[in-house]
Amino acid sequence: MNIKEALKDCFLDHVAIAVNDLDEGEKIYQDLGLVFNKREVVEDQQVETSFAHIDENAHIELLKPIGNDGPISKYIEKKGPGIHHMCFRVKDVTVKSQELRDLGYKLLYEEPRTGANNCLVNFLHPKSTGGVLIEISEKME
Ligand code: CMX
């Protein structure tokens, strides 16, 4: 099988980690050798993000809550900091959301929303994926 061809339409974009403090979170991965080169506030998700490349496609995304009402704030309150979700890049998030819905997965949003890094995103609820929160994302040009 041609791996490059197989990964054309779906590949890992990031692993997201909930943290209380971006500087402290970054230090761990910087000590491993990664370089963080972008921070961004995503108001819609009530987070500040920080990205470091793991390879040419995939990143570590650190997620720090802004305020007390967003999903990351709730997650840290309940479970503490740690791995929060993984995200796969897809060609068309609207089409893929519907395909997955038709297969019986629970999608969080009726329509995809704007996420970090100029992407349109949707999520599969962890109750329909064996306990893993999965984000699917499409890069907007
Ligand atoms: N991974 C795995 N399971 C999770 C989870 C996660 N990240 N977050 C919650 N859960 C589990 C809870 O432990 C709970 O399970 P139990 O009932 O067994 O205790 C269950 O899911 C709760 O589900 P819920 O009551 O429907 O909802 P919550 O209030 O816990 O919120 C979720 C969960 C997924 C709906 C919410 O986190 C959400 O809307 N996430 C999407 C948006 C998001 O995560 N944004 C972050 C920033 C995105 C980015 O910029 O990258």
Beta strand ranges found along the chain (DSSP E): 10-18, 36-42, 47-53, 59-65, 82-90, 113-115, 119-124, 134-139
67 φψ region: left (φ > 0), alpha (ψ -120 to 50), beta (else): left
Distance 81 CA to ligand 1 centre (A): 13
Task: Give the C-alpha separation, 21 to 53, whole Å.
Answer: 19
- Reported as a single tens digit per residue, the pLDDT across 71-115 is 999 999 999 999 999 999 999 999 999 999 999 999 999 999 999
Contact 43, 114 (CB under 8 A): no
> Does the global pTM surpass 0.75?
yes
CATH of segment(s) 3-139: 3.10.180.10
- Reported as a single tens digit per residue, the pLDDT across 23-67 is 999 999 999 999 999 999 999 899 999 999 999 999 999 999 999
Whether residue 124 has its Cβ less than 6 Å from ligand 1: no
Whether residue 113 has its Cβ less than 6 Å from ligand 1: no
Atom of ligand 1 lying closest to residue 47 CA: 47
Fill in the amino acid letter for 97. S
Distance 35 CA to ligand 1 centre (A): 28
Domain boundaries, given as residue ranges, for the chain? 3-139
